[in-house]
Amino acid sequence: MASIRKNIDDILARVNFPLYTVQMLTNRHVLVGGGGGTSKTGVANGFEIFELSHDGRKFVAEEVTRHETGGNVVMNCSVFSDNKHSYLVAGQESHCHLYNVNSVLVREEVDIENIGNNHSEIRQRKPRTKEKTDNNKNIKKRLKFNINPSDSVQTDFNGPEPLSRVARINHNGKLLATGGTDGCVRLWKFPSLQPLVVLKAHQKEIDDVDFSQYGNYLITIAKDGAAILWDCVKGKENKRLSWKQPEGSKYLYKRCRFGIVENEKKSALYMLANPTGLAKKQKSYLQQWLPEEGILKKFAEFDESLSALAVRDDGRFVAVGTMFGGSVLLYVAFSLQCVLNIPGAHSMFVTGLEFLPASTEKENHTVCSVAEAAVLSISVDNQVCIHTLPYRKTMPLWLGMVILVFTLFMTFVFCSYVGL
């Protein structure tokens, strides 16, 4: 049964522009982007990077980098990092922009006496990992990032007002997929941005795309209602996903994300489907698909439209954000059982979700290791929030065996006593 919580999860940060996209840059750094557009409202456009930590009681965010993008609002982005380089791509107007992201240790003066007493929206904290205090206790070395523009390509060609709707880098960092209002999905060699193929995928604007970790799949969804599975290596259509919709209704897909089948080298696919037109009183759905078979396996129902979706890197959890209530819900991926519900997490619709990376055997002390799962959410209310699922209580195996043996023993004694 899902635990319901309201207004108790921390607001990590408030920025001075609406937020539309969120990505984990490293295991403990989160990047958010957005803006007010080209209108002369004084609202900025750009990125902010925050470092996350846990003070033993709650998560804390500290701003480390801010990069403004002039008159271009950041509507979507994708990041890729390896041992040598970090890249960021972002859709801005008709173009997709490529940035090199370089980390650097900088020396800063810090008012030690005021740490912990600072009531600003972004909290200060004592030095932790990646921060080393010099002999002079007022000087710290802190990891920051330089975001440097590198290249730009036009990715949408829809008449007088082209718009790059989505950009996604695949898991090995060799392919980039972009989609816009012209209904075409373009594949690019990454990071050179050399064009590879144009997939004339849809009749209307693209809403979302994603690459699978296994199977060379690319999923595309659009406002024409179609969901198409592609072979991204061959650049050919594999199959179209269809399901039996309630009679008299019409549904559009809103978001799509691949996950993995836990403990198997297979992909799972999750999609959000919202009713439209006369069917707006129908339920919305979180769907789980088996992409290889093209089969809808499970679904969860909602009473309002859905706006955001994320799947954790290990495939264990799925997060959903709602349109009207600004709520965030967390599900077990395998069963689609709801385990956490945060009603009204934001005052407006949720625009993005991103899980903190899961702990692994090689790295058991990630910033998320204090909880079973933690997911970040953003909205046009300018807030970055975090929602955590505490470790659920489980019975140790040895204790279960002891109880089982004791129960069998007592059953035997009772049967002997009554002469059975």
Over residues 12-21, the pLDDT tens digits come to 999 999 999 9
Over residues 159-217, the pLDDT tens digits come to 888 999 999 999 999 999 999 999 999 999 999 999 999 999 899 999 999 999 988 99
Our count of domains for the chain comes to: 1
Pairing, β 86-92 against β 76-81:
antiparallel
pLDDT, position 120: 37
pLDDT, position 138: 67
Task: Write out the residue range of the structural domain in which residue 160 sits.
Answer: 3-417
Most confidently predicted of 5-9, 38-42, 118-122, 245-249? 245-249
**CA distances, 219 to each of 125, 146, 250 (Å):** 41, 32, 20
pLDDT, position 219: 97
Over residues 102-145, the pLDDT tens digits come to 988 887 666 555 444 443 344 444 444 444 444 545 676 778 89
Secondary structure in 3-state letters for the chain: CCEECCCCCCEEEECCCCEEEEEECCCCEEEEEEECCCCCCCCCEEEEEEEEEECCCCEEEEEEEEEECCCCCCCEEEEEECCCCEEEEEEECCEEEEEEEEEEEEEEECCHHHCCCCCCCCCCCCCCCCCEECCCCCEEEEEEEEEEEEEEEECCCCCCCCCEEEEEECCCCCEEEEEECCCCEEEEECCCCEEEEEECCCCCCEEEEEECCCCCEEEEEECCCCEEEEECCCCEEEEECCCCCCCCCEEEEEEEEEEECCCCCCEEEEEEEEEEHHHCCCCEEEEEEECCCCEEEEEEEECCCEEEEEECCCCCEEEEEECCCCCEEEEECCCCEEEEEECCCCCCCEEEEEECCCCCCCCCCCCCCCCCEEEEEEECCCEEEEEEECCCCCCCHHHHHHHHHHHHHHHHHHHHHCCC
Confidence band (pLDDT; 50, 70, 90) for 82? confident
Confidence band (pLDDT; 50, 70, 90) for 280? low
pLDDT, position 54: 87
pLDDT of 418 above 90:
no
Over residues 322-368, the pLDDT tens digits come to 999 999 999 999 999 999 999 999 999 999 999 999 865 555 455 66
pLDDT, position 277: 73
Mean predicted lDDT score pLDDT of the chain: 86
- Report the chain's C-alpha Rg in angstroms: 24
Do the beta carbons of residue 319 and residue 331 sit within 8 Å?
yes
Here the CATH number for the domain that contains residue 242 is: 2.130.10.10
Confidence band (pLDDT; 50, 70, 90) for 39? low
pLDDT of 252 above 90:
yes
Rounded to an integer, what is the distance from CA 318 to the centroid of its chain?
9
The encoded tokens of residue 234 equal: 């061959």
**CA distances, 231 to each of 9, 120, 199, 235, 279 (Å):** 41, 49, 11, 6, 33
The residue behind tokens 């290791």 is 369
Over residues 43-81, the pLDDT tens digits come to 899 999 999 988 888 899 999 999 999 889 999 999 999
More confident residue, 294 or 10: 294
pLDDT, position 197: 96
The residue behind tokens 């195996």 is 397
The encoded tokens of residue 9 equal: 């999860």
